[in-house]
Amino acid sequence: MGTLTVNQNKLQKRLRRQAGEAVADFNMIEDGDKVMVCLSGGKDSYTMLDVLMHLQKVAPIRFEIVAVNMDQKQPGFPEHVLPAYLKTLGIEYHIVEKDTYSVVKELIPEGKTTCSLCSRLRRGTLYTFADEIGATKMALGHHRDDIVETFFLNMFFNGSLKAMPPKLRADDGRNVVIRPLAYCNEKDIQAYSDFKQFPIIPCNLCGSQENLQRQVVKDMLQEWERKTPGRTESIFRSLQNVIPSQLADRNLFDFTSLKIDESAASRFVNVVNL
């Protein structure tokens, strides 16, 4: 690309700074790490790879980057796009072929959302491949808005307060997932993807489903943000500022043993009748 405009330069610096802060705050990448960057062909994962390649150049530590895409055998999937793009970057990459598309279409009734099963199958395959190539970290392209949306989805439909942590050890104990874009907002990522002209590959399995609850939550948050700018950022900050004693989870706070502190100073005030 040619010389960046002032706004493009500011955008690039902001994304790089926010990703760098997230990596540092959560100790996502350590010296000697082999980071498997999971590419879907969407704007988020392209941006993540771009930012991590920059961090690799300027970071005071050394780490490897390996790009990995999972070809789920969706009809019409343009198999040549990602390899052609990755060759121009000159980095190591792998295309993992696994026909999860047929499995999802067979098991999920027509008209039902496929994301849950699709993501589980994809995640399991990628976890296994990360172990095979000796990756110490597995980078996913989820951003701040994804994290906030997931928080509300879990609260509305699962009755739990949880989201997508910036860093997570998988249930198998053998994989550590990192989300370097955790501090970045989707609007910036979209703008960055547009001017970088990443070769976007649309998902025709789930991306076009109209009945996704995530889209309902996304619309809700966008409306809130329109009426009260900064609200999404405030919600995200709340996920970093949890006060268990002000909630109701008995596993996080010992409400049962809570009693008066007999040693505390009295707050009694003498009332003088006037």
Average pLDDT over residues 202-208: 57
* Residue 208: per-residue pLDDT: 47
Residue 207: predicted pLDDT: 47
pLDDT at 246: 96
Given phi > 0 = left and psi -120 to 50 = alpha, else beta, which region is 32?
left
pLDDT of residue 104: 67
- Residue 35 in domain: yes
pLDDT score recorded for residue 204: 57
User: Distance between alpha carbon 240 and the CA centroid of its chain, in Å?
Assistant: 15
Pick the residue with more confidence: 274 or 88? 88
| 162 located within any domain | yes
Q: Is residue 18 part of a domain?
A: yes
Q: Judge whether 233 lies within some domain.
A: no
- With a pLDDT cut of 90, the percent of the chain lying above it is 69
pLDDT tier at 210, thresholds 50, 70, 90: very low
78-94 confidence digits (pLDDT tens)? 888 999 999 999 999 99
Mean pLDDT for all residues in the chain: 89
In this structure, is residue 25 part of a structural domain? yes
User: Within a domain: residue 102?
Assistant: yes
pLDDT at residue 124, as a whole number: 78
Domain that residue 159 falls in: 6-209
Average pLDDT, stretch 212-222? 91
Residue 38 annotated in ligand binding: no
Q: Does the pLDDT value for residue 234 go beyond 60?
A: yes
Q: What is the CATH number of the domain that holds 52?
A: 3.40.50.620
- The answer, yes or no, to whether residue 45 has pLDDT greater than 80, is yes
The predicted model gives 29-53 an average pLDDT of 96
In the chain, the number of structural domains is 1
Is 203 within any annotated ligand binding site? Answer: no
- Whether residue 270 is contained in a domain is answered as no
Query: Is 66 contained in some domain?
Result: yes
- Asked whether residue 114 carries a pLDDT value surpassing 70, the answer given is no
